[in-house]
Amino acid sequence: MNIPCGQSFFNYGSGWLNGSLCAIEPTINITPLIIMRSKIAGIGHYVPERVVTNDELSRFMDTSDEWIQERTGIKERHYGKKHEETTTSMAAIAARIACERAGIQPEDIDFIIFATLSPDYYFPGCGVLLQRELGITHKEAGALDIRNQCSGFLYALSIADQFIKTGMYKNILVVGSEMHSMGLDFTTRGRNVTVIFGDGAGAAIIQPTDNPNQGILTTKLHSDGTYAEKLSFINPGSHGGYHSRHTGEEVDYGYPPKDTYGEIFMTQHMMDNGMQYPNMEGQFVFKMAVQKFPEVIMEALKEAGLQPSDINMLIPHQANLRISQFVQKTLRLSDDQVWNNIQKYGNTTAASVPIALCEAWEAGKVKEGDLVCLAAFGSGFTWGSALIRW
């Protein structure tokens, strides 16, 4: 395209088109800028075979089907096979399905973004383990691990979106996978947390699209570390009690004397006292969630010039059915506009959004041209949303 000197077609900031170059060249050749968007080209999910009902849990701890269903909506969840399945192995199954649906081979993946709070190893992260599991190490593609708990998939998707839009990658594998069942407290002490969580994985292939009527319209990400410990899994860790200056809570972790090395990450005292499990102040988390979900959804809608009524399908992170119902009511959405599956899977944290999105798509509830809204809130606190024109 030839444009006359001085009439800058794009806003180049520095304005160099008007500078000395123009004095030499009266016109300049510029390829028109194509606004590239990211799209979800394929999606897959996997949940382990083993179904664990509320009644089964009540054999290990003082709880009941009635209590769990009334407070959370959960009827059952799935648990992986010990020593046979892991966060990575489940992710690989979901990833292969996503690749097939996107019409690509795992070898075509340029970059992996893996969100989980229940990694196979403390390090290295699951990204490289997944790369190996998919048999694509020879490509030496980058792998990034995301530690944003329930909003991990939203963060991963947003990062993928930026990499696609800049043209850096063409096929990004975004995964959320969790194997909670290996790290929960199955005594009455842990019942407030344990009954909520389940295992599973979801994956998506993110690709560029030049179709102006398709793709990720916007993503919004937020965090507030003020209440980091309200929903946390702090041991093993290097904290050494440091953060009590913020929480005001001095806890005896059984650390060795200060002038010795080692034994900070995990002490026998922690193991003996069940300090190696997740903690949650349920009511506090609930109150924050019902505030932040609608807020971040409205923020995305406002930027896109849309209304809640424009949403064809809201996929909220499956934290608690009561939270999703509260969000639905606040945004005045009908039952057809919201996908809930926590009844079957519990809260699968980073995996919950891609599993729910995949299920909704498989059920024919997410169709071409639909406006899909993803939203999540969780530990950190971290939260986010994404608006996608399918």
Ligand X SMILES: CC(C)(COP(=O)(O)OP(=O)(O)OC[C@H]1O[C@@H](n2cnc3c(N)ncnc32)[C@H](O)[C@@H]1OP(=O)(O)O)[C@@H](O)C(=O)NCCC(=O)NCCS
The residues that are catalytic are 150, 317, 347
**Binding flags for ligand X, 154-193, as an x/- string (CB under 6 A):** -------------------------------------xx-
72 binds ligand X (CB under 6 A): yes
285 counts as binding ligand X under rule CB under 6 A: yes
Binding residue count for ligand X, defined by CB under 6 A = 22
Strand 231-232 vs strand 215-223: parallel, antiparallel, or unpaired? unpaired
- Shortest distance, CB of residue 159 to ligand X, whole angstroms? 20
Window 365-384: contact mask with ligand X (x via CB under 6 A): ------------xx------
The stretch near ligand X (CB under 6 A) out of 28-36, 67-75, 160-168, 245-253 is 67-75
Q: How far is the CB of 136 from ligand X (least distance, A)?
A: 32
112: closest CA among 179, 98, 389, 101? 98
- Rg of the chain, C-alpha, whole Å: 23
Of 116 and 347, the one with the shorter C-beta distance to ligand X is 347
Site for ligand X in 323-342 (CB under 6 A): 323
8 Å CB contact between 39 and 372: no
On whether the CB atoms of residues 94 and 354 are closer than 8 A, the answer is yes
Q: How many CB atoms lie within 10 A of CB 369?
A: 9
Using the structure block, give the residue that is written with the tokens 């560029």: 208
Per CB under 6 A, the segment of 24-32, 62-70, 243-251, 331-339 that binds ligand X is 62-70
Cross-strand bridge partners of residue 91 = none
Return the SS3 of 227.
helix
What residues contact residue 123 under an 8 Å CB cut-off, 6+ apart? none
315 lies in the site for ligand X, by CB under 6 A: no
Select the residue interacting with ligand X from 37, 43, 63, 386 (CB under 6 A). Answer: 63
State the Cα–Cα distance between residues 36 and 25, nearest whole angstrom: 29
Taking the complex as a whole, the smallest distance from the CB of residue 293 to ligand X amounts, in Å, to 10
Residue 195 within binding range of ligand X, rule CB under 6 A: yes
Using the minimum distance from each CB to ligand X, give the nearer residue, 27 or 187.
Answer: 187
* Alpha carbon distance 313, 310 (integer Å): 9
User: Looking at residue 197, what DSSP letter applies?
Assistant: B
* Nearest-angstrom CA–CA distance, 27 and 13: 19
Contact 216, 96 (CB under 8 A): no
Say which amino acid occupies 1.
M
The yes or no reply on residue 347 touching ligand X (CB under 6 A) is yes
Q: Which stretch binds ligand X (CB under 6 A): 9-17, 119-127, 258-266, 280-288?
A: 280-288
Q: Is 286 in the site for ligand X (CB under 6 A)?
A: yes
* Closer CB to ligand X, 289 or 301, in the complex: 289
Minimum CB separation of residue 150 from ligand X in Å reads 4
* CA separation for the pair 95, 174 (Å, rounded): 8
* Min separation Cβ 244 and ligand X, Å: 23
Phi/psi at 35 (nearest 5 deg)?
-75, 110
- Residue 350 as a binder of ligand X (CB under 6 A): the answer is no
Contact assessment for residue 299 and residue 291, using Cβ atoms and an 8 Å cutoff: no
Binding site for ligand X (CB under 6 A): 63, 67-68, 71-72, 150, 191-192, 195, 231, 280, 282-283, 285-286, 289, 319-320, 323, 347, 377-378
